[in-house]
Amino acid sequence: MDEKILAEWKKYPEKKIVIFGAGAGGRVVLQECVKHDVRVSYFVDNGKKGEYFENIEVKDPYDLMYEEENSLLILISACRKSLCREISEQLSGMGFVAEKDFFIPQTGRNYAPLDLFDPLLGYGRKCVEEEGFAVSEGKSANAGKILVFGGSTSDPTFGNITSWVELFAEKLKAKGYDYRIYNGAVAGYCVNQELLKFLRDGLPLAPEIVITMDGFNDATQPRKEEYPFYHPYQADSLEKMFENIHRDSLDINGDIRGMTLGRKDMSERSAFYLRTLKAFHGAAEANDIKHIAFLQPNSSLEKASDFPVLDTVKDFYDKVLTEKPSFMTDASRILEEVSDAYMDYAHYSRKGNEIISEYVLKSVEKFLQKREDKE
């Protein structure tokens, strides 16, 4: 937890700690509080009043108004900068003061961390094992290679929850398969970033199998609709860079007169997603790599009537499934009848990830067996 917040709490230990956001980000902030013996009184959330999250009551944000003045320390747990800003504005409108009554902890601010600026992908992840990949080792030096691409639901650094990819690797070993898993998933990534990363970083690894698990980000990321390759996190990175560089000092091969985002593409999101996924599949096949694409689970949205882009996600999934390519596996409903499979509207609990890892293993195993037979 931030030293600034700890210092404030130690200065006024009688203040109630309240976390704004009862989701995956809220769980991370709660874990930080527990680690530092800081008791959380309750959560507030704009859409979950009356529920319990991590066995702690969730109240309406306006219940904060009934607390005594100067009696609260509110911790914002949203993972996106834009959401943190919206919540900050909401709290300010209610009379609370930033850096006095409410804070954005580092765990919230960096929840979907932009570790490294990447000129091709917008941002990337620094991994210890391999640049851009978290690696689960196989049983031998000659282990086969499986690559995984996706967003935060596959990202091993997201939310302090063991990802389905890590569980998948454990199950492979338990069944005697000898494969090294390269997990290249990064929070926020869409299919176009997965494709570019595969072309640049994945193909040189010469994997036998590549798995993609996506769909949700492709339906929901608040990008410029006419420039689908320009990711909002990439925009944040570039804006920060331009803020810190005098434009008149950019004198490379003459004057730089601005920035281009390429040709406008007004395709529907579903059409862009399928077209790009097919390009990914074609690149894999052309290099004798088996590509297995999964449309990721989203059944939590059936109960999320207050989710801000619910209709958008449903429409996207409906259109993708109507034109589902033969190489795609529809995993969107595999958690439909499972309780406690989700941490929030999009992200899976340990239980959910266990089910997904088992489902992926069953879908992939016939290709693994062919490899074992050859050996």
Instruction: Please tell me the predicted confidence (pLDDT) of residue 111.
Output: 44
pLDDT band at 257 (very low <50, low <70, confident <90, very high): low
What is the rounded (10 degree) CA torsion for 219, 222, 225, 229? Answer: -80
Enumerate the β-bridge partners of residue 181. Answer: 136, 146
Q: How many CA atoms lie within 13 A of 51 on its CB side?
A: 14
- What are the tens digits of pLDDT across the range 58-99? 999 999 999 998 999 999 987 666 678 889 999 999 999 998
Indicate if the pLDDT at residue 237 is higher than 80: no
pLDDT band at 109 (very low <50, low <70, confident <90, very high): very low
Indicate if the pLDDT at residue 244 is higher than 70: no
User: 18-27, 33-42, 362-371: which range is least confident on average?
Assistant: 362-371
- What are the tens digits of pLDDT across the range 262-286? 899 999 999 999 999 999 999 999 9
Indicate if the pLDDT at residue 189 is higher than 50: yes
Q: What is the mean pLDDT of residues 289-298?
A: 96
Residues contacting 14, CB < 8 A, separation 6+: 71
Ordered domains of the chain (ranges, CATH): 3-109 (3.40.50.20), 116-374 (3.40.50.1110)
Indicate if the pLDDT at residue 352 is higher than 90: yes
Instruction: Please tell me the predicted confidence (pLDDT) of residue 307.
Output: 56
- What are the tens digits of pLDDT across the range 120-159? 888 887 776 678 898 998 888 889 999 999 999 998 876 5
Instruction: Please tell me the predicted confidence (pLDDT) of residue 308.
Output: 58
User: For 90-94, which contacts have Cβ atoms below 8 Å and span 24 or more sequence positions?
Assistant: 90/61, 91/20, 91/61, 91/64, 94/61, 94/62, 94/64, 94/65
Residue predicted with more confidence, 306 or 225: 225
Instruction: Please tell me the predicted confidence (pLDDT) of residue 373.
Output: 46
Instruction: Please tell me the predicted confidence (pLDDT) of residue 371.
Output: 45
| CA 299 – CA 91 distance, rounded (Å) | 31
Residue predicted with more confidence, 32 or 19: 19
DSSP state of 238: H
